[in-house]
Amino acid sequence: MAEDNKMEKIVSLCKRRGFVFQGSEIYGGMAGLYDFGPYGVELARNIREAWWRAMVRDHDNIVGLDSAIFMHPKVWEASGHVGGFSDPLAECRSCHSRVRVDHLLEEVGVLADENMSEADINKLFLENKEKIACPKCGKKDFTDAKGFNLLVQSNLGNFTGNFSIMD
């Protein structure tokens, strides 16, 4: 609870000081979407410039590229995003919250590698179920883990493709 309260205080301060605002706030807002205020824009620009300097300008063998997130679906296939861009999630049967199984296993000292199959993750999950409680409600009643693809379906122009929500 203390961590949640700390995060709420930080977000509240950022809103009051003009770093962020809720997306579409004047029209009722959209949950989970934020727009940068004047200070947020400057902070983001400074972070981008520091990253660019450290990763691109300071290296003679690297050139920078700024490309669109929306790309032809074959780009996402070639990069491995389509075939292996998923997290193992389980649902708490009591409160219906979804949790990452690999993170729950790590909390009880069990390493779940991202390259493990769904069957291997579920085997570890089943072996350690009595040690693992839902972070939201505290119950120990989960569904089996299933891979949740982190790409979202989107339409752009006259083709439909999958796009990463992480980029």
The per-residue pLDDT for range 83-119, each reduced to its tens digit, is 767 788 999 999 999 999 999 999 999 988 777 888 9
Tally the domains of the chain: 2
Three-state secondary-structure class, residue 35: strand
Query: What is the structure's pLDDT at 2?
Result: 67
The pLDDT of 122-149, averaged and rounded, is 91
CATH code assigned at 145: 3.30.40.230
> Please, are residues 145 and 122 in contact by the beta-carbon 8 Å criterion?
yes
- Would you place residue 165 in the very low, low, confident or very high pLDDT band (cuts 50, 70, 90)? very low
Distances (CA, A) of 137 to 3, 43, 97, 122, 141: 17, 37, 9, 21, 10
Report the C-alpha gap between 143 and 150 in whole angstroms: 19
CB-based contacts of 39, cutoff 8 Å, min separation 6: 17, 18, 19
Domain annotation covers residue 80: no
> Please, are residues 92 and 142 in contact by the beta-carbon 8 Å criterion?
yes
Query: What is the structure's pLDDT at 38?
Result: 93
Query: What is the structure's pLDDT at 17?
Result: 94
Domain that holds residue 9: 2-57
Helical (H) or strand (E) element with 105: helix 101-107
Looking at the fold, whether 15 and 52 belong to one and the same domain comes out as yes
Looking at the fold, whether 90 and 143 belong to one and the same domain comes out as yes
Least trusted range by pLDDT, from 102-116, 134-148, 150-164: 150-164
Looking at the fold, whether 47 and 90 belong to one and the same domain comes out as no
Domain annotation covers residue 53: yes
Between 29 and 40, the higher pLDDT residue: 40
Q: Is pLDDT at 15 greater than 70 in this prediction?
A: yes
Domain annotation covers residue 157: no
- Would you place residue 166 in the very low, low, confident or very high pLDDT band (cuts 50, 70, 90)? very low
Domain annotation covers residue 93: yes
Domain annotation covers residue 162: no
Domain annotation covers residue 155: no
Query: What is the structure's pLDDT at 41?
Result: 96
